[in-house]
Amino acid sequence: MIPRLRYRRRRSRRRGFPVKRLQICVPGSENRSPGPSSTGSESVDDPAPWILEDLAMGRPPPGAAWTWILLLLTWAAWAGRPRAQESKLLEGQECEPHSQPWQTALFQGQQLLCGGVLVGAKWVLTAAHCKKPKYTVRLGDHSLQKKDGPEQEISVARSIPHPCYNSNDSDNHNHDLMLLQLRDRASLGSKVKPISLADHCPQVGQMCTISGWGTVTSPRENFPDTLNCAEIRIFPQKKCEDAYPGQVSDGMLCAGNSNGADTCQGDSGGPLVCDGVLQGITSWGSDPCGWPERPGVYTNICRYLDWIKKTMGSKG
C-alpha cells in the first residue's frame, strides 16, 4: 500500500501535507491575484497520534486501553469491507482509466504527498502548501500500485510557489498555488497530456470534475489505490464566503453538491476541470470533508493566469 504523510490542521483543513519553507512576497508581483502580500516561514503542526499504530506496538493511551481496543476492533470490521464499497472519492467513483491524462501525483520517495496537474511538457501546477525540498512527479497513473504502460516518473528541477503565498499562517490559504518545473520533458500521448488553462472564470452552477487519490472517507481516512472522480458545481461566491467567514478571497472559488461530493485529505494540488479546461486547484475545505453546506475550496486559476504564463515563459 502506498504510504501517506499525515498532518492535521486546526479548524479548516488543507487537503495535502504541508511542510516548512521560507517564502518572500514581492508586492505587486501579481497584478491579478488578490489579497495582502506577506512573508514568513511555515509553522508545521506535529503529526496527530496514529492510534492504530500505537495499539499495534502495544502502546494504548493511558487510562483508555479498553476504549482503544474497542476502537481497533471496530476499525478492523470496517477495514474488512469489500474494496468495491471503498474505492471512491467522497461521494464519487473510480475514474475511467486514463480519462484524466493531466492528473499527476507528487511523491517523496514512496510517500504520496499531493496531486498535481500537467499544464506543459515540463510544467505541473499544484498547491503551494504541498511544497517539499525534493520530490518526483508521476504521470500516467491510474492505479498507484499496478502498471499498465503509460506511467512516467520525473524529478522536479524547480519549485516555484506564488510569491504572495503566506506559509506562516495555517488559516490563511491565499495564493495557494505552485508551479513545478520538471527536470525532463514528459513523453506526451493520449494518456499523458497537458490540460488547457481557463481563459475566463467559471460560471455559477457550472458542472465540473474533481479527481485524486485522497481519502474516500472522512473523518476516518481511507485511501484508494485507483484515481477517483466526482462531479460538482460551482457555488456563488457569496455562499462560499458565508460558509467560511473571513477566510475566502477572490483568488478562491467553492464547488460541491447536495450529496456531499468533495475532495479531501490527500487531494490537494489536484484539478477542478470545467468544460475541459482547468479552473481550479484543490486547496482546502471543511473538517470533516463532505458537508454540503461547506463546500471544497479551490485556488481560482483565472485570477492567476498572468503569473502562471509569465513564470512558465521566463523559466523556459
Residue 175 has pLDDT above 90, yes or no: yes
Residue 142 is among the residues annotated as catalytic for this protein: no
Q: Please tell me which of 33-37, 57-61, 249-253, 291-295 the model is most confident about, judged by mean pLDDT.
A: 249-253
Q: What is the mean pLDDT of residues 280-287?
A: 94
Separation of CA 178 from chain center? 12
The pLDDT assigned to 13 comes to: 54
d(C-alpha 193, C-alpha 120), whole Å? 8
Catalytic residue among 37, 141, 142, 176: 176
pLDDT tens-digit profile of 210-251? 999 998 888 888 899 999 999 999 999 999 999 999 999 999
Instruction: Kindly indicate the confidence band of residue 16, based on its pLDDT and cuts at 50, 70 and 90.
Output: low
Residue 268 is among the residues annotated as catalytic for this protein: yes
DSSP-assigned letters across all residues of 108-128: ETTEEEEEEEEEETTEEEE-G
Instruction: Kindly indicate the confidence band of residue 73, based on its pLDDT and cuts at 50, 70 and 90.
Output: very low
The pLDDT assigned to 14 comes to: 61
Report the chain's terminal Cα–Cα distance, integer Å.
Answer: 37
Residue 256 has pLDDT above 70, yes or no: yes
Catalytic residue among 268, 283, 286, 287: 268
Catalytic residue among 129, 162, 173, 175: 129
CA distances from 55 to 58, 65, 97, 279 (A): 5, 9, 37, 43
Instruction: Kindly indicate the confidence band of residue 44, based on its pLDDT and cuts at 50, 70 and 90.
Output: very low
The pLDDT assigned to 269 comes to: 98
The pLDDT assigned to 281 comes to: 98
Sign of CA dihedral 116, 13, 60, 78: negative
Residue 219: asked if its preceding bond is cis (omega within 30°), the reply is yes
**Residue among 28, 260, 271 at smallest CA distance from 127:** 271
d(C-alpha 248, C-alpha 103), whole Å? 26
Neighbours of 92 (CB within 10 A): 23
Residue 200 is among the residues annotated as catalytic for this protein: no
Residue 10 has pLDDT above 80, yes or no: no
The pLDDT assigned to 31 comes to: 39
Q: What is the mean pLDDT of residues 170-184?
A: 93
Q: Is 27 exposed, middle or buried (CB count within 10 Å of its CB: 0-12, 13-18, 19+)?
A: exposed
Cell numbers 513564470 correspond to 311
Q: Is the pTM of this model over 0.85?
A: no
Q: Is 214 exposed, middle or buried (CB count within 10 Å of its CB: 0-12, 13-18, 19+)?
A: buried
Residue 190 has pLDDT above 70, yes or no: yes
Domains, in order of start, for the chain: 88-94+196-302 (2.40.10.10), 103-194+305-315 (2.40.10.10)
What percent of the chain clears pLDDT 70, i.e. is strictly above it?
Answer: 71
d(C-alpha 278, C-alpha 195), whole Å? 7
d(C-alpha 26, C-alpha 271), whole Å? 27
Instruction: Kindly indicate the confidence band of residue 314, based on its pLDDT and cuts at 50, 70 and 90.
Output: confident
d(C-alpha 220, C-alpha 28), whole Å? 42
The pLDDT assigned to 222 comes to: 86
In sequence order, the 6+-apart residues with CB closer than 8 A to the CB of 76 are none
pLDDT tens-digit profile of 104-155? 999 999 999 999 999 999 999 999 999 999 999 999 999 999 998 899 999 9
d(C-alpha 282, C-alpha 298), whole Å? 5
The pLDDT assigned to 54 comes to: 41
Residue 37 has pLDDT above 80, yes or no: no
The pLDDT assigned to 217 comes to: 86
